[in-house]
Amino acid sequence: MDILISGLLLGGTYVLIAMGLNLQYGVARIMNLANGEMIVLGALASFWVFTTASVSPIFTVVLIFPVALLGNWLVYRYLLIPLVRRAKNQGQLEVDSILATFGMSFILVGIVVSINGEYFTYSFLASPFEVLGSTVALNRLVAFVFAVVIALVLYLWLNRSRAGMAVRAVSVNSASARLVGINVEKVSALAFAIGGAVTAVAGVLISTFITLDASVGVMFTMKALIIVIMGGVGDIRGAIIAALILGLVETAVATLIDPGLTLAAAYLIFLLVLLFRPQGLFGKPQT
């Protein structure tokens, strides 16, 4: 029971980390290597307002969403669209976006280092909470609840709203989407911006229970990439399921086998999934 609950909570954290990238890569086709830095920025913002003005991270979530939304939209509009327009094919765009976002991640690390090179650590809701007889940290539970809410809202938005439908259409096939009159660039920018904003919110929530520093982003980026690919590109359900599987596997291995093997086991599961389903859990077979 402990394993199930802790594993789900950790999975929730991974959902937060990967959901934004899933939108960015699945719809806008940008393999965003600066994803982890967006998390670090969210965490830094939260740490900053908490330690200087005692602002609750919950409130920071509300603050950061529009800021990150605008910031990511600007990045897409002014830095990435030129790449999209110039790319002759998907491979070209992939290479360019890897290079460009790798550069952006360096820039963001540089900015964060010059603001605060130390660890961002503070205590928020770091108290025990009983769930079905298992003790969990309240801050992790809060993050999990947010993960569930964000995932639900995104899912409903994608499946029930007009705008969401357009986003899904672009994700499935951008050329056909264009034919039916969807403004692909606009939709992609929207998806990229929302993805970035979700990631920044994830950073705020994660900073309440994980100690971050300026250079730690790359670890989150790698985790997010693994989850998105394991789930299958462009399917939000895939990312959620992959994240929960990783959370459960890591917790089970740490509890039952050896905590030293948690990350190795997570990667092993990822590799196995790809070996048997080369297109990820929910991905469509490639043509």
Partner 1 sequence: MIKARMIKTNPTFSVRKLVRQLGSAVLIAGLAFTAQAADTIKIGAVAPKTGPLAGGATVTQWPNVQLWVEEVNARGGLKLKDGQRMIELIEYDDKTNPGEHIKAVQRLATQDKVDFIIAPYGTGFNVAAAPIYAKYGYPQIAVSAITDKMDELTARYPGLFFTLGTTTSFVNGVKDILVDMRESGKIGNKVAMVNVADAFGIELAEAARPIFTDAGFELVYDNSYPLGTPDLSPIIKGAKDAAPDAFVAWSYPPDTFGLTEQAIIEDLDVGAYYTAVATCFPAFAGKFGSKIDGVLGAGGVNPDTDKMKDYFAKHKEITGKDADGWASANTYVSMQILEQAIEGVGEVDREKVTQYIKDNAFDTIMGEISFENQVSNKFWTVGQWQDGVYRGVASSNMEGAAEIKQKSGWN
Partner 2 sequence: MNAASVKNLSIAIVCIVLAALIPFVFNGYWLSIALTAMMYIALSTSWALFSGPTHYISLASGAFFGIGGYLVATGMSDYNLSFWLMMAIAAVVATVLAALIGMATLRLSGVYFVIFTLGLAEMIRNLVSWVQNNFLGSRGLYVLTDFTEAHIYWMLLTVSVIVFALGWVISQSRLGFAMRIIGNDETVARHVGINTAKAKVLLFMTTGFFAAIVGAIIAPRYSYIEPNLVFSPELSFLVVIMALLGGMHRLWGPLLGVIPFTLIWEAISIWLPNFTTLFLGLTFLIIVYFLPNGVVGLLEKLRARVAT
User: Between residues 79 and 165, which has the closer beta carbon with respect to partner 2?
Assistant: 79
Taking a C-beta distance cutoff of 8 angstroms, is the pair 235, 169 a contact? no
172 binds partner 2 (CB under 8 A): no
What is the three-class DSSP state of 129? strand
User: 134-137 and 128-131: which strand pairing?
Assistant: antiparallel
Burial label for 202, CB within 10 Å (0-12, 13-18, 19+), is buried
Tokens of 139: 């801050």
Q: Tell me the sheet residues that pair with 128.
A: 137
Q: Does 13 engage in binding with partner 1 (CB under 8 A)?
A: yes
| Residues 6+ positions from 254 with CB-CB distance below 8 Å | 262
User: Which DSSP string do the residues of 152-165 spell out, in sequence order?
Assistant: HHHHHHHHHSHHHH
Q: Indicate the residue among 91 and 181 with the shorter CB distance to partner 2.
A: 91
**What binding mask, one character per residue, do residues 11-40 give for partner 2 by CB under 8 A, x or -?**
--------------x-----x-x-------
Per-residue binding letters, 193-232, with partner 1 (x by CB under 8 A): ----------------xxxxxxxx--x-------------
**Measured between alpha carbons, how far is 244 from 97 in angstroms, rounded to an integer?**
28
User: Where on the chain is the footprint of partner 2 (CB under 8 A)?
Assistant: 25, 31, 33, 79, 82-83, 86, 90-91, 94-96, 98-100, 102-111, 113-114, 218, 222, 225-226, 228-229, 233, 258, 260-261, 263-264, 267-268, 270-271, 274-275, 278-280, 286
User: Where on the chain is the footprint of partner 1 (CB under 8 A)?
Assistant: 2-3, 6, 9-10, 13, 48, 51-52, 109-111, 113-119, 121-123, 126-128, 135-137, 140, 209-216, 219, 250-251, 254-255, 258-260, 262-264
